[in-house]
Amino acid sequence: DCNGKVDDGLTDCEGCQPPGKREICFGTGTSKQAGVGICKSGLRTCLGDGEWGACENAVGPEKEICNGFDDDCNGKVDDGLKDCEGCQPPGKRDICFGKGSAKQAGVGICKSGFRVCLSNGEWGSCEGHIDPKDKETCNGLDDNCDGQVDEGLTDCNGCQPPGAQQNCFAGTPTQQGVGICKAGSQICQADGTWSTCEGAINPKSAEECNGLDDDCNGKVDDGLTNCNGCQPPGLRQTCFDGTSSQQNVGICKAGSQICQA
């Protein structure tokens, strides 16, 4: 009506002018939701017939699902949902505990592992973790990760860790290092058992005429008579067939003899 006002006094004018004009649009969302969560605005173009074209590239709110996103554009992620086991984005790494719990990680044999978010939004398997065992075993370790080693078990004769060494001796502590007796050593094997004792010399059941303390009681050849032999081989002693008063008188002098093997 050429009064300087466009469409004045009219309502519900859905058309547009001029053709080619572009404006922001929000699809199924609102201007307040644009830029929140997954929602974003788009653009629409005024067509030649005075109607607006479709709103392009706009993303409107959707029903919330377990995906790590704010689908309904209310500023909250996965709100109102429970047991969301999915993950986002693909490649994300997360600590995992297998059958154990976060409190058990680092206790006893237990340790945490890692899992990776797959392209389908599911977590991959937990890698590198060590779970608590159902039962404690005799191995010098805390198998059930409760902070106690071999608890509730008796007669744990195994050994840990593999490669550990200890002294071994079949006699009594008072015999060790006395006479012929000496301790040997044994090594803890991978199966948790001790190897055979190597290098030990244990007491003999009976003393022998050999100039040694065979039963390791601190006495040599005790309880034996007529031990005329000599020990050890190679031992040298003075010998003289005359009397002590004749030795070194005139032509007389002592000689020597060697204990033979």
Q: Is residue 7 situated within a structural domain? A: no
155 vs 49, higher pLDDT: 49
Q: Does one domain contain both 96 and 149?
A: yes
Does one domain contain both 166 and 192?
Answer: yes
Structural domain that includes position 137: 85-153
- Among candidate residues 41, 61, 84, the one where a domain is terminated: 84
Q: How far apart are CA 17 and CA 103, in angstroms?
A: 67
Most confident of 52-56, 78-82, 207-211, 223-227: 52-56
Query: Tens of pLDDT along 133-189?
Result: 998 887 788 999 999 988 887 657 668 788 999 999 999 999 999 999 999 999 998
pLDDT value of residue 8: 65
Domain assignment present for 235: yes
What's the DSSP call for residue 56?
A: B
State which of 99, 123, 153 marks the end of a domain: 153
Q: Let me know whether 100 and 115 are in one domain.
A: yes
Cβ atoms 157, 189 nearer than 8 A: no
Residues 96 and 144 grouped into a single domain:
yes
- 191 and 203 in contact (C-beta within 8 Å)? no
How many distinct structural domains can be found in the chain?
A: 4
Q: Answer yes or no: do 95 and 145 share one domain.
A: yes
- What percent of the chain is predicted at pLDDT more than 90? 54
Say whether both 119 and 172 belong to one domain: no
CB 13 within 8 A of CB 7: yes
Residue range 194-238, pLDDT digits in tens: 899 999 999 999 998 888 999 999 999 888 776 766 778 888 889
